[in-house]
Chains A and B, each alone.
Chain A
Amino acid sequence: MSGTFVGMPAFPKAAHEAVNNQTLRGNLRHATHTIRGKRAKAVAEVSDWAALREAGKQIKDHTLRHLDRYLVQVEEAVTAAGGTVHWAADADEANRIVTDLVKATGETEVVKVKSMATQEIGLNEALEAEGIRAYETDLAELIVQLGKDRPSHILVPAIHRNRGEIRDIFAREMSEWGRPAPEGLTDTPAELAEAARLHLREKFLRAKVGVSGANFVIAETGTLVVVESEGNGRMCLTLPETLISVVGIEKILPTWQDLEVFLQTLPRSSTAERMNPYTSTWTGTTDEDGPRAFHLVLLDNGRTDTLADEVGRQALRCIRCSACLNVCPVYERAGGHAYGSVYPGPIGAILSPQLRGTQSEIDASLPYASSLCGACYEVCPVAIDIPEVLVHLRERVVEGGQVTREGNKVVLRPAKGHAAERAAMRAARWAFSHPGALRTGQRLASRTRRLHPRSLPGPGRAWSATRDLPPVPAEPFRDWWQRTNGGKDGAK
């Protein structure tokens, strides 16, 4: 994944800063609560939401089950329509393919449609290293790029910024990248949008190469689909002479008819719109109109390995609507950067450790970045049971086990740093398997209750730093039960 995230500290450490940043907390709280409420309303309008959700899940599962077949179909259809298909096993290969394609055009700049796949592989950085400048044209993505920042949300990468901060970024940075911000720019949404529009328009009209991702790829015709709200994506898709689309292999839908389901669930889940304002579809090339050359880069980058995992593979159903982020109480406090990946929030917590493996400190901590409250599963339009996958990945972290890496089955050892916890869990299991031992422990706790501190040493300190512990009662329930025969012998 993107080089910018390498060496991130574990989630709790990264979240610590965010939790104490009041501006960030305020921005996130406001944004997520607003969209959360709107989404709930937009979903409630649809009488057959549960059926749509189930249909989405089934279509995706079916496609994943027969992915080999559909991928071949996509390649044939795209080729027949005048496009060229490239296969990329990992980020490096994908970056190399795109860089070479751009170089072959002789251009040194490209305009970009917002795309998670190109962020995942760190394409902008890779192009930059080869002297090619990539301009983000999605408004929020532009804010992130101008601010030399990292995205913190799937749909609204600049969700952590408020209007005042955006104004400052525009005023300071736009001139370095192209048309400067107008004098005396204020932080009203209309003025900010106008400044971005003028700045971007120049790019659209000049660029000869466009780079995009896709929300869906229709196998039967080799058609790619991008849904968006601003229309900037459509400009990038239609104006340049060469279009290069980098798409994860899980984005395929077998037929046009399948698209119907997602054109209903995606906009409502993501922006709370009944229908997204722009739906662009393109199939290969046409003589009179649009790009003259079209390249589709099909990206694996850990997806086939993820597909091999029975429990974890459901993460590949994700349509990147970001509903799970907006509803997640942990995301709301920790912010997107703490996840150390372009995929933040609940989906990031299960996707990143599968695509990248659980070896690094940040990836081993991500499955624990959840209280398992289940709100993400409830809103997910393709019914990904995120809590189930989180627990499954926790198991991988603490107990190791067999996984598939680059197509080979390998046995992982437990991650480091869990020895004490494992010992405690085993000891607790032993005590719980021996009711007598549990009882002895309870009695001991009761007898020494006056000696118990209200704050704890060791790992428990984190608890008692902000919360008081309950006092240990004089008598555990089971002793009371035995003494009084469940209250029948008089005593309460």
Chain B
Amino acid sequence: MRVALFLTCVNDTLYPDTGRAVVKLLTRLGVEVDFPMAQTCCGQAHYNTGYRHEAEPLARHFSDVFGEYEAIVTPSGSCGAMVRELYPRMGERARAEGRGDTLAATLAPVVPKTYELTEFLVDVLGVTDVGAYYPHKVTYHPTCHGLRGLGLGERPLRLLRAVKGLELAELPGADECCGFGGTFALKNADVSAAMGADKVRNAESTGAEVLCAADNSCLMHIGGTMTRLRTGMRPVHIAEILASTEEEPTA
């Protein structure tokens, strides 16, 4: 099977290790990965901040770049939710504004083919044991857009439970938002920070060394709070845990 990796602009620029981990993991599972070089950003930050009209060309660009592929895999719950949940809505809004079906028709092909990584592994490849080895105590934070937007449910936990050596610690208040929320972290910095601090304290209470999630944006916020609060915990993307093996440990 050949898939396109949509790494997202944040991962590409700030977290290239996550991208390398996805490539390593999928290759190990026999998937041929392509990285279309023309890819940029799904437009989520624009859309969610109220700049829907600025997000439209980015969505169109996304469809141009990825439209040909059989499947599109992304290690980001929120960017995945942007494509799957909000692209159809952008099409509807354009129609409601009397601009016809063009945008909806342009975006439609990529919507059902876009998968968040853990969804792709469990639903499409049908694996829960990806042959990973990660001898650490880990707690999992289900990010809001993965949890409620995409409905990832137990998938990431099932994958983590099958990792050799990994001890999974349950996170209290797991389904509470970490407080990132894109531009929310800037516009409402006090509330965002308070939410982040509570998330980190809950994570700390598990005694885990690592907090993992399927979204680097939330991990950036949580991780930045962790170092500031000097917890000694590390944020790690789930792809990096699943890519890790005895021979070649990552993260």
Residues of chain A having any CB pair with chain B under 8 Å = 11-12, 15-16, 19-20, 25, 310-311, 329-330, 333-334, 367-375, 377-378, 388, 391, 393-399, 421-422, 425-426, 428-429, 431-433, 435, 438, 442, 445, 459-460, 462-463, 465-470, 472-473, 475-478, 480-482, 486-487, 492
B161 at the interface (CB under 8 A from A): no
B68 located at the interface, meaning its Cβ lies under 8 Å from any Cβ of chain A in the complex: no
Question: Interface size (B, Cβ < 8 Å)?
Answer: 73
A15 CB contact (under 8 Å) in B27, B185, B190, B225: B190
Question: A463 and B37: CB pair below 8 A?
Answer: no
> From residue B244, how far is it (CB to closest CB) to chain A in Å?
13
Nearest A residue to B27, CB-CB = A487
Cα distance A426–B41 when bound, in Å?
13
Closest Cβ neighbor of A465 among chain B residues: B189
Which secondary structure dominates chain A's binding surface? helix
Q: Are B33 and A486 closer than 8 Å at their CB atoms?
A: yes
B48-97 interface (Cβ within 8 A of A): 48-55, 57-58, 61, 89, 93, 96
Residues in A neighbouring B54, C-beta threshold 8 A: 425-426, 429
Interface stretch of the complex, out of B8-16, B108-116, B120-128, B129-137:
B8-16
Q: Kindly list chain A residues whose C-beta atoms are within 8 Å of the C-beta of B55.
A: 429
Contact B24 A435 (CB under 8 A): no
Contacts of B43 in A (CB 8 A): 429, 432
Assess whether B148 is in contact with A433, with CB atoms less than 8 Å apart. no
Inter-subunit contact B12/A15 (CB<8 Å) = no
A422, closest chain B residue (CB): B51
State the CA gap A266–B12 with chains docked (Å): 46
Q: Are A371 and B228 in contact (CB under 8 A)?
A: no
Q: Is A476 in contact with B49, judged by CB distance below 8 angstroms? A: no
The listed residue with most B CB atoms (<10 A of its CB), out of A16, A310, A329, is A329
Task: Name the residue of chain A whose CB is nearest to the CB of B11.
Answer: A477
Partner of B40, one of A329, A435, A459: A435
Residues of A within 8 A of B149 (CB): 374
Report B-chain residues with C-beta under 8 Å of the C-beta of A438. 9, 40-41
User: Would you give the shortest CB distance from A317 to chain B, in whole angstroms?
Assistant: 19
**B224–A371 contact, CB under 8 A?**
no
Are A397 and B195 in contact, with the CB atoms below 8 A? no
Interface of B is mostly: helix
Asked if residues B224 and A470 are in contact (CB atoms below 8 Å), the reply is: yes
Apart from the given pairs A395-B50, A477-B7, 4 other A-B contacts in the complex at a CB distance below 8 Å: A330-B195, A432-B61, A477-B13, A482-B37
Docked CA distance A94–B243 (Å): 65
- Do A19 and B194 touch (CB < 8 A)? yes
User: What is the distance, in angstroms, from B174's C-beta to the closest C-beta of chain A?
Assistant: 12
Q: Is the CB of A467 within 8 A of B195?
A: no
User: B186 within 8 Å of A by Cβ?
Assistant: yes
Contacts of B45 in A (CB 8 A): 425, 428
Whether A370 touches B224, Cβ cut-off 8 Å, given contacts A15-B190, A482-B37, is: no
Contact present for A373 and B7 (CB under 8 Å): no
- Residues of B contacting A329 with CB < 8 Å? 176-177, 179, 195
Q: How far is the CA of A466 from the CA of B200 in the complex (A)?
A: 13
Given A433-B58, A463-B189, A477-B16: A371 touches B33 (CB 8 Å cut-off): no
